[in-house]
Chains A and B, each alone.
Chain A
Amino acid sequence: MNVPPERDSSGRFVKPEDDAPKPGDEDMHPMSKLLFGWVGSPRTPLILLILVILICGGLVLFDLGVNRHEYLDFANANGFYAIWGFAAFGLAVLSGWPLGKLLRRDEDYYGEAETTPQDVESDS
């Protein structure tokens, strides 16, 4: 049975969890532990958000003290690039909701569901 998935009690989309237990981090690659050990921490998302907000704030403040020389006048406005970057990214991502509904079809729509090439040696 295909259970309509993916929304939790607050309406957010979530990926359905497999019933089988996930492998732990014991078999993690040593280099992964060294470089990305911090990624799995529950506090990481919040720390990253705060860090990015601080950097963004710093960039806007720094912009106040710089007299930029843009070829296009309106681009001289403080924070123009910040607003454009935020809005453009938001627009691109949010357009995914209606576009997905409009354009997404079954994987076998063209009869090409199987596309894994033969030079793959999957060991997962």
Chain B
Amino acid sequence: MSGVLGQINPGLLLVLVGFAGCLIPVQRVRQALMVGTPIVAMLLLALAERGTDLATVSVLDLDLILYRVDSLSFIFGLAFLIASFLNAIYALHTDDRLQDGMALAYAGAAVSATFAGDLMTLFVFWEITAVSSVFLILRAGTKAAYQAAMRYLGVQIFSGVLLLDGLAYVYKSTGSLSLDAFTSFDQPGAKLIFIAFAIKAAFPFLHNWLQDAYPKATVVGAVVLSAFTTKLAVYAFARMFPGFEILIWIGAVMTVFPVFFAVIENDLRKVLSYSLNNQLGFMICAIGIGTPLAINGAAAHAFAHIIYKGLLFMSMGAVLYRVGTAKASELGGLYKSMPWTTIFCIIGAVSISAFPLFSGFVAKAMTMSAVATEGYVIIWLMLLFASAGVLEHSGIKIPYFTFFGHDSGIRVKEAPFNMLLAMGMAAFICIAIGLPTIGGFGYGWLYNMLPCTTTAPADVCMISGKEIKPYAPYTVDHVLTQLQLLMFAVLAFILLKRFGLYPPEKPGTILDTDWLLRKPGFGMVKWAGTVWGKAGPAMTGFFAGVGARTFEKIETTFSPRGALARGPLTVGMAMWSAVLLGIVMLVVLLAS
């Protein structure tokens, strides 16, 4: 029995139930399915055999592998399933068929893409994540959300098109669609697939869709969106581009630049979106390093991040739900009315800041060690800077300006119970996987799932010749240095606030690189449209006139009633024909 159940793709189950859920009008029935299906999916995943093709299908002479589990895809897939379960609980207070169904289908598509055994299957689910997730933005119902959703959809579909283009090159050159890692950009399709992944992973200059769309999504939608798309891209990079040195530098830049935007951003859900970008940078950097320790670091970071970032979005969502805004300039003092939300937000904040005893610490430590071990000094210093930056925007700014700081005088009810329950469970995971291993809890549970272990040196650790050693995060060195970094950063915050040097939170729109597209770019397209609107008819008239006059001339000259047809044989057409034939005959005679 377990053999058959172990062959059912849990992601596909989520997709099917999700789409069906859109048609179920009874709220409680639908929501029971939304909460129950991820649990069933986790059980199915536990039964799946590793390293074999569990479900295959042949379409148009292509052998597709719909379900294949290994140690790399397992940890990402499990994180996605846990996130979809928590998200379903978080959404219980709403009665929105489309949102409920699409949230589950989106999660399922991400899980299915993770367990895809070939590029074509990956492409199909890659696109389903794009199409299903856009509803989470659209359902916000505002004009800004509609426009952002259209931009989001365009970018995501473009990523899919590039992936399809790239996989066509791969298939043509190798005759196979397998998810083998690339070793060089010179391989056919490598660059196209790299850019396709880069768009979804929100690389610098390709990142704006994230900060544009997520803060405009619904309360529930932003929580759901934060978990899947970008981490699916991280998984795809780990699968196909491990050890590509360019990723180290791109990742490091990704960790640093969002710090500066997050400092001045007023919309706290947008701050979290920049923070998401920063966190992805750590994972991308680790994948670029590509050693087993680094790949483990990326996977652990992704797992921990999915939970604590979801928790932070949940807490800001709860505030937005109750207060009606998530703008720092309008918030403050909410600890007086939302104590549970405050506590859960603080747990998310200290987790993402990587304080010892919380999940971020045990995850990020591996990446930092891997970078230092390989001797990338500048990169390491950049990541260390970004670690202090994370503390600034996610560790302090989010909880401080929302729940403490200046009392806005706002008094609201505590968040709905289902929201608190989801936040509580996420907070529990943040602590449970961050503790030293004590009585079944602790980081050991997370570390046992990592892709590259001593007991199961998996086929996903493609960089051969590197020794896989167990990693111990709780050493005196690690704890001491991390606490020094964080506590002195906290001291800096207190002093900056005390001396009035901390920039005030002000309402406004912060320009990012998408300004180029949205202002000059859009302006140019608009100008071109206006010019074409006027020049088009004028050009049409001009060419029509020229055409008509030319036709008229030809007709008056060559037609049976034309000038050349008139008169006796010695003039006109007959004469000219005779002259031309004579010349041709002369040429032929001379040539022979």
Interface residues of A (CB under 8 A from B): 6, 10-13, 15, 18, 20, 22-23, 25, 27-29, 31-32, 34-36, 39, 45, 48-49, 52-53, 55-56, 59-60, 62-63, 66, 68-72, 75, 79, 81-86, 88-97, 99-100, 103-124
Contacts and interface: CB of A to CB of B under 8 A. Distances in A.
A113 B509 CA distance: 9
Given A32-B336, A96-B264, A123 B342 contact: no
A92 B139 contact: no
29 contacts: A27-B411, A28-B336, A29-B336, A32-B337, A35-B342, A49-B495, A49-B498, A56-B488, A56-B491, A70-B477, A82-B485, A92-B388, A93-B496, A93-B502, A96-B503, A99-B263, A104-B508, A106-B509, A110-B144, A113-B144, A115-B215, A115-B267, A117-B139, A117-B140, A119-B99, A119-B220, A120-B321, A121-B322, A122-B324
A52 B335 contact: no
B283 to A, nearest CB: 20
Interface of B: 94, 96, 99, 139-145, 147-148, 215-221, 259-260, 263-264, 267, 320-325, 329, 335-340, 342-343, 369, 372-373, 375, 377, 380-381, 384-385, 387-389, 391-392, 404, 406-407, 409-414, 476-477, 480-496, 498, 500-504, 506-512, 518
B509 A105 contact: yes
A123 B485 contact: no
A92 B507 CA distance: 19
B485 A85 contact: yes
Nearest to A114: B142
Given A13-B504, A117-B140, A110 B389 contact: no
Given A23-B409, A53-B491, A104-B264, A29 B338 contact: yes
Main secondary structure of the interface of B (DSSP, over half): helix
A13 to B, nearest CB: 4
A90 B499 CA distance: 12
A82 B388 CA distance: 11
A56 to B, nearest CB: 5
A93 B375 CA distance: 29
A100 B506 CA distance: 9
A89 B388 contact: yes
B374 to A, nearest CB: 9
